[in-house]
Amino acid sequence: MTEFTPFPALVGGTLIGIGAVMTMLFLGRIAGLSGMISGVLSPTSAEDWTWRVAFLVGMIAAPILIIAVTGTTPDFAIAQDTRLLALGGVLVGIGVTFGSGCASGHGICGLARLSPRSLVATAVFMTTAIITVFVSRHIIGA
């Protein structure tokens, strides 16, 4: 059970949007994390590698800054079963590679510019995620 948190949701969402717009204004790039990480693994040039690393360093610094300022770690609860974590991770890795994006690249940046590929991808991954949660929580886990 997690509480409905409208205020942090709106503030956080707005910051995500500002971050995505900054990425486009400064670098001319989509703020898609699967592409960002995949580009670090296999860069096309040194210059292409360093801006991605800088972006990821900024993202890692963000919660550290929050923890330093507020003194509390953000809420976090995750399944502890290693096999489940591994299976989920592998599926996400394969899926974002074939699907060319994830929640940030398709779900936010792509939808914001009305990309037909992103509209379809977002509808599909939202649907399979909802089905997966339904099956794992209400059929298998019931």
Partner 1 sequence: MRHLAALAAGLVFGLGITISGMANPAKVLNFFDFFGTWDPSLALVMAAALVVTAIGYRLVLARRAPLFDVKFYVPTSTLLDRRLIGGAAIYGIGWGLVGLCPGGLVPALTFGASEPFVFLAAMLFGMTVARMAPSMIMTRVKPA
Ranges within 59-98 binding partner 1 (CB under 8 A):
59-67, 73-80, 82, 84-98
Cβ proximity to partner 1: between 42 and 71 the closer is 42
Which residue's structure tokens are 């399944």? 79
Nearest distance from C-beta of residue 19 to partner 1, angstroms: 3
Report helix angle 46-70 to 33-41, nearest 10: 130
Decide whether 43 or 84 has the Cβ nearer to partner 1. 84
* Closest C-alpha to 92, from 103, 79, 108, 83: 103
Site for partner 1 in 6-35 (CB under 8 A): 6, 8-31, 33-34
**Total of residues contacting partner 1 (CB under 8 A):** 111
Site membership for partner 1, residue 113 (CB under 8 A):
yes
| Structure token pair of residue 126 | 């939202």
DSSP string, 70-85: HSSPPP------HHHH
